[in-house]
Structure 1
Amino acid sequence: MSTTRVQPTKGQLPDDTGAFAWLRALGPRGRRAFGGAFGGYALDSYDYFTLPLSMVAISAYFSLDNGQTGLLTTVTLVVSAIGGALAGILADRIGRVKALMATVITYAVFTVACGFAPNYETLLVFRALQGLGFGGEWAVGAILVAEYASAKHRGRTLGAVQSAWAAGWGLAVIVYTLVFEFLDPDTAWRVMFWTGALPALLVIYVRRHVSDAPEATARRQASTTRGSFTTIFKKDLLRVTLFATLLSTGVQGGYYTLATWVPTYLKTERGLTVVGTGGYLALLISGAFLGYLTGGYLTDRIGRKNNIALFAVLSALGILCYSKLPEGENGLLLLLGFPLGFCMSAIFSGFGSFLSELYPTAVRGTGQGFTYNSGRAVGAFLPTWVGYMSDSWGVGGALLLGAVGYGLAVVALLGLPETQGRELP
């Protein structure tokens, strides 16, 4: 992997250090790509959170126990590994934009289908198929933008893309609050899934206005190994692939444990109403949004590995404080939601740049798609574990298992190189 620095292209002045220098440096095509990737990831997040937010209503409707409910999340994330790997290979073979559209259409169609599920088994199947698109969108969108971004600004640029997750999460909470306030729960959870048709509008924009980065496309098309799955397991990339997968497993295991079970924890063990839960999540989400942006800035300043290690430790400490707060301290719980959301999101800001820089152009999609989503699939067993352990530990106590994931992430960093400042060849 080359580490030589290239001369800035027109519009990418070396002294351009304003707050939005990273956005100006992308150029017109790059900014359109950023818009498509940001929108795709925001709506990916929205469609994902239709399940956790509706989990209590779905559990009551189908008479599920916590283990069965947690399995709905786990199967989504496990299948997302397949979707992510396939999308990464497609991104390397047919292009970033075409693969991005395919992932968005897939997760939108099957999110809507979930709203028509007549029983638990059908819902489980539809949710698994939704995972195919859900798994591929982020990796493809992140690579699309990374290949437009300069090394100087890549962390901030990809951190901004990552912040779309908080935007989609916030939109889902707003819609959830309104839908469950005015509709019967047995109908409301179905309506939440039906609103997952929104991403279809984004596909129209992407198809008309977004294109792959020309130089990266030419280099990728000239390679005889583009989209080769076996290449990422060959000697020169095997170590990177294994440790990047372990890193992703740890971080996402911790994250999805919280994202899946915090709404249920707030309702069942803290006794909050639907509107109250929305208020608590508002602080969590606003912390997440600022965390993504801050983490993007720090990953360019202190390095990819240091940023991840810092927020892995802080996230684990946040889980301990959040889950062990005494009864009657809901006011303090509200305040703790902000730093928890901040830390568990800032850790992700460096992922887009870090994984993109670890792999050569010909297999960048394949490597990033596989490692990010395989890690998500393995880490997905943590939410199910929490579901089963909550019967004896309570949801709050079982949330502590999320800290195990962050410990794995710190260990994984020992096997990976620092890539700060690395130009994409």
Structure 2
Amino acid sequence: MQKFIHATISAFFSWAGNIYDLLIVTYVYYYFEKCLGLNAVEGTLLFALGLIFRVIGGYTFGKIADQRGRKPILIIGTAGYSAFQGLMAFSPNAIILLVARALQGLFMGAQWTAGTVIAYEQAPPSARGLINGIVQAGYGVGYALTGVAFIEFAPAMSGIGWRLFLLTGAIPIILLPYIILKVSDVKVSRRVASKVNVKEYTKILIRASIIISGMFFSYYSIFAVYPDLAEYLGLSKDFVGLMMTVANISLAISFIVYGRVADFINKRKLITYGVIGEIIGLPMMLPIIVKSPGLMLIGLLVYSIATGFWPLAPLLIVESVPPEVRSALTGLSYNLGSVVGGVGSITMGTLVQIFGLANSPLFGNILGYSSLLIVLITLLTWPRGTVITKNK
């Protein structure tokens, strides 16, 4: 089996586990409040900590990966976020829960940075968009699995059930033997890396970071409370789980399709089409007037399929910088976007705390449209003649 296949499989499943752990907490805010005393703002802060500390982990571990290889960081990242998920599951109080989440975020950033780059670098040049799409499809699969797990655990959430539900997030640690034994590495010497002037890539870093930040802000300001909103509007736990599962399977497939098409079509155009699709789906999935379960499901599917452009955004960095700084800058850009997404999560949580969950569709539309408009403007005003180079 070719080495890029092992790298792709490892990156896909470790990323799926990463996002599973990031998002599974959104299903148990009620139990955090009941058992550990967290309010709505603190609950969304918990969610945001996973995003905020990813930027530190992504950049710090990314620099190490650029010097010492991607594989060790992929191993450390996967082991770290799995271990701290186990600690979160049995946290005796809110302080330990929040600290564990912050530390988990460091390793989440490490895993994504190393996994994305190692799969991209080992893929055949003619299929790098496809391989990146497959790896990033782990996001949709990971999120879909949270819905599957929620359906399974929903009848037994009381008592220790919600803790066991969280503990499922430690399962990715079983990937370590496969990564250690099967994945090859790409390594750049310190001497070569030191010759690269990072400042040369500042403009592309800023613009790509704005695009990634906008897409994260829109997404996380919505999904930080979406399962709770759906239940508040009268949907059953089973239907909520089914909605999230179907939507995220669609998202995963869309990642792969967008990735493959990006091997032939300009990436910025595809991202633009995706943003327009999100704008269309947003008012249906967050209905302000007609609150129909069917309409919400259709809107959720439209939004999720349109969000398939996500894997293309990191490629604006990956394909524009040399391998010697690729992990560090890609990790910085992507996870900086996560920080902004964390701000969106906290903002939504604060608004819900003040005005109530009933008003979250209104605020979700306002926050979503504002951030997507910024992304659209950045794409449409991208300097003419800017060429995204293909790295070897």
Q: Which residue type is aligned with residue 280 of structure 1?
A: M
Q: Can you list the C-alpha shifts for 1:239-268, whole angstroms capped at 9, x where unaligned?
A: 122222222211111122233221111112
Specify the alignment match of 1:295 in structure 2. Answer: 258
Does the aligned pair in 1 maintain the 2:79–2:173 contact within 8 Å? yes
Structure 1 residue 63: Cα displacement: 4.0
**Structure-2 separation of matches of 1:107 and 1:55:** 20
- 1:191 Cα shift? 1.1
- State the distance in 2 between where 1:145 and 1:62 align: 40
Q: How does 1:14-413 map to 2 (within 5 A)?
A: 28-184=2-158, 186-213=159-186, 217=187, 220-221=188-189, 223-225=191-193, 231-232=197-198, 234=199, 236-268=200-232, 270-344=233-307, 346-390=308-352, 391-392=354-355, 394-400=359-365, 401-413=367-379
2:247 partner SS: helix
Moved more, 360-369 or 49-58: 49-58
Q: Which runs of 5+ in 2 are unaligned?
A: none
Q: Is the 8 A contact 1:142 1:352 kept in 2?
A: no
One-letter code aligned to 1:189: W
Q: State the alpha-carbon separation in 2 of the partners of residues 227 and 250 from structure 1.
A: 32
Which sits farther off after the overlay, 130-139 or 405-414? Answer: 405-414
Higher mean C-alpha displacement, 290-299 vs 160-169: 290-299
Question: 1:294 & 1:45 partners in 2: Cα distance?
Answer: 20
Q: CA deviation at 1:223?
A: 4.2
The residue type paired with residue 102 of structure 1 is I
Residues 303 and 418, structure 1, Cα contact 8 Å, conserved in 2: no
TM-score computed with the length of structure 2 as normaliser: 0.92
Shift of 1:328: 5.0
Contact 2:243 2:297 in 1 (8 A): yes
CA RMSD in angstroms comes to 2.1
TM-score (normalizing by structure 1): 0.85
Instruction: Report the AA paired with residue 242 of structure 1.
Output: I
Quick one: which amino acid aligns to residue 321 of structure 2? Y
Cα distance in 1, alignment partners of residues 372 and 312 from structure 2: 15
Q: Alignment partner of 2:126: what SS?
A: coil
CA distance in 2, matches of 1:358, 1:383: 30
Q: Structure 1: state its 5+ residue gaps.
A: 1-26
Deviation at 1:386, TM superposition (A): 0.9
What is the CA–CA distance in structure 2 between the aligned matches of 1:353 and 1:139, rounded to whole Å?
A: 12
In structure 2, what is the equivalent of residue 21 of structure 1? none
Shift >6 Å, 4+ stretches? none
**Alpha-carbon distance between aligned partners in 2 of 1:261 and 1:419, rounded to the nearest angstrom:** 39
CA-to-partner distance for each residue in 1:311-370, whole Å, 9 max, x for gaps?
1122133222221253551122222221121112x1212134332101101101111011
Q: 1:138 to 1:351 in 2, by over 3 A?
A: farther
Taking a change above 3 Å as real, the CA distance of residues 56 and 396 of structure 1, as seen in their structure-2 partners, is: farther
Distance 1:102 1:419 in 2: 34
- Would the aligned equivalents of 1:104 and 1:200 in 2 still touch at CA under 8 Å? yes
CA–CA distance in 2 between the matches of 1:288 and 1:258? 16
Q: What code does the residue aligned with 2:189 have? A: Q
